[in-house]
Structure 1
Amino acid sequence: MPQLASHIDSVPPSGIRRIFEMALALDDVVMLAVGEPDVDVAPEILRAGSDAWLADETDYGPNGGLPALREALVRKLARDNGVVVDTEQVWVTCGGMQALYLAMSLTLGPGDEVLIPDPGYSTFAMNAAMISAVSVPYPLRRDNAFLPDFDELTRLITPRTRMIIINSPSNPLGSVFPEETLRALVEFARQHDLWIVSDEVYEAFSYDSPHVSVASLDADDRVFSVFSLSKTYALTGARVGYLVTPPGLSTIMRTAQEAMISCVNTPAQLAALVAVGGDQQHVRTAGLHYRQNLDAATALLRERGIEYLQPSGAFYLWVDVGYATGGDVAGWAERFLLEKRVAVAPGSAFGRGGEGWIRICVAAGLDDLLEGIRRLPEPARRQPDAQTPEPGGISVRLARPDEHDEIARQRLEAYRLDFTIGDDYAVQILDVPRHAAIGEVWVAVDDATGRILGSVTTPRPGELLTPLGRPGEFDFRLLAVDPASRGRRVGSILTDFVIDLARERGAERVVMNSGTEMTTAHGLYERRGFSRMPDRENPPGIEPSRAYGLELQERRATTD
């Protein structure tokens, strides 16, 4: 089989989807992880789509969308957003996600940099990688009210910076940027000659003040605006969104649409026409439902003493669970799902700034929402420093032969949670006696119970374990944590042990390969200063992988 394009391996998988798909394989899960509206679609919208299918309205349509729908969107933009455009600036897309991808692919080339919010919607970084651009996170921090720091933004600018993405109301934060912040961002983009992509998918749900569209503040045609009917009208599966462009791009837009999708299906567009042009009472009713859920959920969080960001838009709650996660919220979220049967989105899926936080979707039945919050751990478990808890109670030692079967079981279960394992690789994972014969198999053990919590394999002194390693380096593989022990920092403890062992044995660098889907592990390694080694990735005959290396003399302080 030929190799895939080299940049595809750099596209990060969705940490939200991972939790979602794990949850689908379980029974009786309280689903609070995915932004799926729980309200019914208005009957007239359903009838419009149904009638179109029954009337065989299934021919190709114009690249830009049905003229009547584009005209209705032009009227809506002028009325609700203060954005005056003509129909040749409004392009109907396959959901807001295609609109976002279209805007980024038109303006960014290989190596170009795009400033993305952190925490921010995971698809921002995924799209950048898909087109070989470079995403540069700009932090939204609690100590700055989750607003951009313009001094920090300025420091992030390089000659390759081409775009900034703004998302208000925010997914995942549920926050809304004040108008003065939006004006300052537009001015910042003007000063540095940047394109702006404004993600306004949650425009209908701004609770404390009217929604402000960034394009209404733009004086020099640098804004692409992304909208969607998915959240506003509960039409997530219909896949209808639209992109509003600066003027003068109609020729290239037709070409791009033809190359990507040709057109959006006609029945969905006819349903969208009724949605946009009809009575909006069902949208207001949905907004009231989400607001009531937010009020009830935040009241319960306050009662339990759990901290959160006060929501002002969208239908999400950004909740601080750092007191319980031990610096690995992704691993904790998986364990929480397996043990408590509640699916939440780990904050780290939205960027490094999300570590210690979770996103809860309140577009759910109120009873389910409150039950999910009740199952959160008690904040009394908060440690003096939740981000750097002491690893006491866990020791690392060489494995005994009578422990090989348990190590094999844990490896297989842990790896199956992260990616699909082929039969050949499963055989390799299970062959612990061979690994102990050619290298050293170490186990992390609970000091109180003696139970094995995880394991890792390293080379014998003076040797290398895999073809990845080179003279002067220390390679390791098969780091696995028992799924029942996730959230106890076992992976962090084993990784730190490997680094210390490598230093003790005089190595200059620690190296390893990791499967492309093992994003939790990637985050752990990157927080310890490991960096990608693309020149050593995907050797012939090997499954797609990411190679990481850590220069020991340059190791940064950990934050786990």
Structure 2
Amino acid sequence: MRFAERVFALQGESAFDVLSKVQRMERDGRDVVSFAIGEPDFDTPEHIKAAGIRAIEENHTHYTPSAGILPFREAIARYVERTRGIDVSPDEVVVTPGAKPILFCGILCCVNPGDEVLTPSPGFPTYESVIRYAGGVPVPLPFVEEKNFSFDTETFRRLVTPKTRMVLLNFPHNPTGGVASREDLEAVAAIAREKDLWVLSDEIYREMAYEGDVPSIASLPGMKERTIILDGFSKTYAMTGWRLGFAVLPRELAAHVTKLVTNSVSCTAAFVQMAGIAALEGPQDAVRSMVAEYRARRDLLCDALATFPGVVCQKPRGAFYAYANVTEACRRLGVSDSRAFQEKLLEEAGVAVLSRNCFGSRNVGEDQEYVRFCYATSRERIAEGLRRIREFLEK
């Protein structure tokens, strides 16, 4: 069989390989505590579900404009104005079925073959995959423990070359929960303006912040005109299965992205967009409750991990992930790296985590071992997982 060469640039997600193994073990009768997959364990709030059901009953089941229905784009514009402090017009908003299409469309519209894109490392593996699919060259930007899992601005400046076309940022950060300071973002903004770079700012976890507001680079002077804000409803509103995302981006680029949407998926389901309006403009109590619960789970998990032999774990400032340094634990257990640690922990203790290799290529000189914990699971299961990990480490 013959395939186009570009398909081989795409990668899967190692997280789903771990999920498959967990499910196989559970079918065989094993009880597994999973900290692996990054999906809220809450249900979609009732008023959002009701709005979606009502929209179906009112026959909002037909094609919509590819960029999204106007009332929804207006609601998104108001939301982004409130949360980022920037003026947004509805024709600067494009709605997509999930947030991943924004990655594809934004990169396909802005990155030519051979162009370099600075991308978080460790980071969401789809970043590297899509950049390569578009013919671009991913350049890892280390997010380091010493900077509370942000990046070193001098390292950033050294990585920018005449071939750099885009900088991809993600705060709060998956997998570490790190948040950039305004000073870090100002350093990126200064270079972006000087070198005429695009910035794709993945802000999907923005509402899950524990230590104050999360600044958006689009709010800095001269940056809205060169920034693609990526956001969506999967995490904030526990709507992963609804597939609903959006971009805020310059008007001319929005027109090009809309053409890609037209030529790929046509549009996003009308009744889902109606539910999105209810999410943004209805009561936010459920969001606040979810974030408060995530904070309590974070504290439970990280406070315990900090006492475990061979483990160092900073408290994340956002998202629902903790990124634990297990370098010494690997040495004590006699395993080669975090992947071997992940496999041994799953097989022997029945606890699933994701190792460093699940989040892109290692940085040059990177010599520490990490695993990611997703604490989107109940406190009872977190406590049970912690009990098993302690026993595993102390045996």
Gaps in structure 2 of 5+ consecutive residues: none
Corresponding position of 1:331 = 340
Displacement, 1:247? 2.9
- The answer to which structure has the higher helix fraction is 2
Displacement, 1:182? 1.3
Corresponding position of 1:25 = 24
Displacement, 1:127? 1.0
Distance in structure 2 (CA, Å) of the matches to 1:327 and 1:152: 28
Percent identity between matched residues is 34
Which among 218, 221, 232 is matched to residue 228 of structure 1? 232
Query: What SS does the corresponding residue of 1:137 show, helix, strand or coil?
Result: strand
Displacement, 1:30? 1.2
Corresponding position of 2:275 = 271
Which among 240, 250, 256 is matched to residue 252 of structure 1? 256
Report if the CA contact (8 A) 1:308-1:318 is conserved: yes
Report if the CA contact (8 A) 1:323-1:381 is conserved: no
Distance in structure 2 (CA, Å) of the matches to 1:218 and 1:120: 27
TM alignment of 1:88-107, pairs within 5 A: 88-107=91-110
Corresponding position of 1:312 = 317
Displacement, 1:66? 1.3
Distance in structure 2 (CA, Å) of the matches to 1:197 and 1:48: 31
Distance in structure 1 (CA, Å) of the matches to 2:307 and 2:270: 49
User: Structure 1, residues 499-553: CA drift from partner, whole Å, max 9, x if none?
Assistant: xxxxxxxxxxxxxxxxxxxxxxxxxxxxxxxxxxxxxxxxxxxxxxxxxxxxxxx
Displacement, 1:226? 0.3
Distance in structure 1 (CA, Å) of the matches to 2:306 and 2:154: 34
Corresponding position of 1:322 = 327
Gaps in structure 1 of 5+ consecutive residues: 383-560
Which among 342, 347, 355 is matched to residue 351 of structure 2? 342
**2:176 is aligned with 1:173:** yes
Deviates more, 1:175-184 or 1:276-285: 175-184
Corresponding position of 1:425 = none
Displacement, 1:250? 4.2
Distance in structure 1 (CA, Å) of the matches to 2:130 and 2:38: 19
Q: Name the amino acid aligned to 1:129.
A: R
**2:376 is aligned with 1:363:** yes
Flag the structure with more relative contact order, 1 or 2, with Cα contacts below 8 A and sequence separation at least 6. Answer: 2
Displacement, 1:154? 2.6
Query: What SS does the corresponding residue of 2:99 show, helix, strand or coil?
Result: helix
Report if the CA contact (8 A) 2:298-2:315 is conserved: no
Query: What SS does the corresponding residue of 1:196 show, helix, strand or coil?
Result: strand
User: Structure 1, residues 464-498: CA drift from partner, whole Å, max 9, x if none?
Assistant: xxxxxxxxxxxxxxxxxxxxxxxxxxxxxxxxxxx
- Give the count of matched residue pairs: 381
Distance in structure 2 (CA, Å) of the matches to 1:307 and 1:41: 34
Displacement, 1:374? 2.6
Displacement, 1:308? 0.7
Which among 249, 269, 286 is matched to residue 290 of structure 2? 286
Displacement, 1:209? 1.3
Displacement, 1:99? 1.4
User: Structure 1, residues 107-146: CA drift from partner, whole Å, max 9, x if none?
Assistant: 0122211000111111111111221211110112223433
Distance in structure 1 (CA, Å) of the matches to 2:184 and 2:392: 33
Distance in structure 2 (CA, Å) of the matches to 1:260 and 1:218: 34
Distance in structure 1 (CA, Å) of the matches to 2:261 and 2:8: 26
TM alignment of 1:149-160, pairs within 5 A: 149-160=152-163
**2:221 is aligned with 1:188:** no
Q: Name the amino acid aligned to 1:376.
A: I
Alignment CA distance shift 1:62-1:142 (3 Å): same
Displacement, 1:381? 7.3
**2:389 is aligned with 1:376:** yes
Distance in structure 1 (CA, Å) of the matches to 2:136 and 2:336: 29
Corresponding position of 2:244 = 240
Displacement, 1:310? 1.9
**2:148 is aligned with 1:139:** no
Report if the CA contact (8 A) 1:140-1:147 is conserved: yes
Distance in structure 2 (CA, Å) of the matches to 1:44 and 1:147: 36
Report if the CA contact (8 A) 1:103-1:224 is conserved: yes
Alignment CA distance shift 1:123-1:71 (3 Å): same
Report if the CA contact (8 A) 2:232-2:246 is conserved: yes
User: Structure 1, residues 7-33: CA drift from partner, whole Å, max 9, x if none?
Assistant: 322333212121112112121221211
Aligned CA-pair RMSD: 2.0
Report if the CA contact (8 A) 1:117-1:138 is conserved: yes
Q: Name the amino acid aligned to 2:374.
A: C
TM alignment of 1:489-528, pairs within 5 A: none
Q: Name the amino acid aligned to 2:356.
A: G
Q: Name the amino acid aligned to 1:54.
A: E
Query: What SS does the corresponding residue of 2:169 show, helix, strand or coil?
Result: strand
**Larger Rg, first or second structure (1 or 2):** 1
Report if the CA contact (8 A) 1:82-1:213 is conserved: no
Displacement, 1:55? 3.6
